[in-house]
């Protein structure tokens, strides 16, 4: 059983303030909804308080800026800061400064991130997997809801790139899942089920992972 302390409450406030002006894609839902959801999944799958705090803060560098790293490290410790960095595929500043077109930049970042999670610690991987599972479930709900196939217009790489990215993540998680008795194994297979359901709902005939130059019309 994971005991939560005042540090967790402080992390909720940190996330609430950092993401105050942000909303989930295509909605008016405050962004903290996603952060609370990821953190809840971390706890559901046996994570520690540090991992649960990282779940709350996992998008701060990416969406709010790299300057937050030092503050997170000072306030919540090295373990939390390391997980947050592992969950980040690019800072807000880096995305803004790129001269590449959006799809090219997105593909490069996502391929680098997929390569990264192949080797990241299992401590970070559990938080990464919870993040992706929460996102996958949101996409699936939108596919079955009012948004329908229009949900893919919210994503830089559209339907094809989104499906390929989630399939690539699923393959990595399954390979790294470990023993059948582990919570990460259970989590990886739950994510794989969600990805399969997304492909089915999107009418995809096959599940192909993202690779360099794989985004074709």
Structural domain harbouring 53: 1-97
Same domain? For 92 and 105 the reply is no
State the pLDDT at residue 16.
97
Average pLDDT over residues 2-10: 96
Banded model confidence at residue 209, pLDDT cuts 50, 70, 90 = very high
Banded model confidence at residue 212, pLDDT cuts 50, 70, 90 = confident
Report CA-CA distances (Å) from 36 to 16, 33, 56: 10, 5, 6
Same domain? For 48 and 117 the reply is no
- pLDDT for 217 beyond 70: no
Q: Which residue has the higher pLDDT, 14 or 25?
A: 14
Q: Of 63, 97, 131, which closes a domain?
A: 97
188 near 129, Cβ under 8 Å? Answer: yes
The CATH number for 67's domain is 1.10.3210.10
Same domain? For 141 and 93 the reply is no
Average pLDDT, the chain: 94
State the pLDDT at residue 144.
96
Q: Of 34, 66, 97, which closes a domain?
A: 97
Q: Of 45, 75, 97, which closes a domain?
A: 97
- pLDDT for 1 beyond 80: no
Model-level pTM? 0.94
For every residue of 158-186, DSSP letters joined together read HHHHHHHHHHHHHHHHHHT--STTSHHHH
State the pLDDT at residue 101.
87
- 136-195 residue pLDDT tens: 999 999 999 999 999 999 999 999 999 999 999 999 999 999 888 899 999 999 999 999
Same domain? For 40 and 85 the reply is yes
Same domain? For 107 and 22 the reply is no
Banded model confidence at residue 37, pLDDT cuts 50, 70, 90 = very high
Same domain? For 93 and 106 the reply is no
Cα gap 111→88, rounded to integer Å: 13
Same domain? For 108 and 211 the reply is yes
Q: How many domains does the chain have?
A: 2
Q: Which residues contact 64 (CB under 8 A, 6 or more apart)?
A: 18, 19, 92
Same domain? For 107 and 198 the reply is yes
- Least Cα distance to 57 among 44, 43, 38 occurs for 38
33 near 22, Cβ under 8 Å? Answer: no
Banded model confidence at residue 96, pLDDT cuts 50, 70, 90 = low
């Amino acid at each position: 059983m994971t005991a939560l302390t005042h540090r967790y409450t402080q992390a909720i406030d940190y996330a609430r303030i950092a993401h105050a002006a942000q909303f989930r894609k295509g909605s008016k839902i405050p962004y903290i909804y996603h952060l609370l959801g990821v953190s809840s999944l971390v706890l559901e799958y046996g994570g520690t308080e540090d991992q649960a705090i990282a779940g709350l803060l996992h998008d701060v560098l990416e969406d709010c800026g790299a300057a937050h790293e030092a503050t997170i490290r000072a306030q919540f410790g090295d373990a939390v800061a390391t997980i947050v960095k592992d969950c980040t595929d690019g800072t807000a500043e880096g995305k803004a400064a790129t001269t590449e077109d959006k799809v090219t930049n997105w593909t490069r970042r996502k391929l680098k991130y997929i390569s990264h999670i192949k080797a990241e610690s299992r401590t970070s991987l559990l938080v990464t997997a919870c993040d992706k599972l929460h996102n996958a479930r949101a996409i699936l709900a939108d596919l079955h809801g009012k948004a329908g196939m229009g949900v893919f217009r919210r994503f830089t790489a559209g339907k094809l790139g989104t499906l390929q990215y989630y399939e690539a993540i699923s393959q990595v998680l399954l390979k790294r899942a470990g023993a059948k008795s582990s919570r990460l194994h259970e989590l990886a297979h739950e994510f794989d089920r969600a990805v399969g359901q997304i492909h089915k709902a999107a009418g995809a005939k096959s599940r192909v992972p993202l690779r360099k130059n794989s985004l074709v019309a």
